[in-house]
Amino acid sequence: MKKEIRVLGIDDGPFDKFNDSEALVVGTVYRGGSFIDGVLSCKVKVDGNDSTEKIAVMVNNSKFRPQIQAILLDGVAVAGFNVIDVKELNEKTDIPVIIVMRNYPEIEKMKDALVNLGYKEKLRLIESAGEIHKLDEIFIQYIGLSLKEAEEIIDITSTHSLIPEPLRVAHLIARGVISGESKGKA
């Protein structure tokens, strides 16, 4: 695999779950983990059902689309419980998807929260995101590529931290745009 494989890292910005109806989603197009080539963005509804469609349109309408070899997501949801259907995102973009998580997700707590909030239908999306694999100190799920290929992409793009650089920078940009200053870990 080329060291300068083009990948898109996607993360959401901070939002007030009680007052904001939408949240910013930022994507950074990277050559491996070394060079940023561009930034994409869209807005999705807080706790909505539009993240898959909005992200797919953002990707497919981008001038960078022909170069992107993988989409990296910071978790399976954005804007609270706006759960991304990773299989559908893979189908709509024809690009492999890798979900990256710092910590093993507390699936039972997520299920309870979704049921309590009346979002039971979103459980299917979380359950269909694939098996969770531990890579060193992070966890991943993937679709559209092999575990070996996903591991290679994570290795190539994780140049400054445990988290792939495209996700780390998407986080910093989203937080900086919304809060006026970036802070915290991706």
Domain boundaries, the chain: 6-178
Say how far apart CA 79 and CA 95 lie, in whole Å: 22
Q: pLDDT category, 118, cuts 50, 70, 90?
A: confident
Q: Report residue 184's pLDDT band, with 50, 70 and 90 as the boundaries.
A: low
| Pair type for strands 133-135 and 138-143 | antiparallel
pLDDT average, residue stretch 77-93 = 97
Query: CATH topology for 6-178?
Result: archaeoglobus fulgidus dsm 4304 fold (3.30.2170)
Report residue 26 as tokens.
Answer: 């930022």
- 27 with 40: CB under 8 angstroms? yes
For residue 115, pLDDT over 90 is answered with no
Token pair, residue 128, equals 């269909």
pTM: 0.95
**What sign for the dihedral angle of Cα 162, 167, 169, 172?**
negative
- Model confidence at 49, pLDDT cuts 50, 70, 90, reads very high
As a whole number, mean pLDDT of residues 132-151 equals 97
Instruction: Please tell me the predicted confidence (pLDDT) of residue 38.
Output: 98
Q: Counting every residue, how long is the chain?
A: 186
| Measured distance CA(131)–CA(114) in Å, rounded | 20
* pLDDT at site 167: 97
Q: Which residue has the tokens 């001038």?
A: 63
- Residues 6 or more apart from 142 whose CB is under 8 A from it? 96, 97, 98, 99, 130, 133, 150
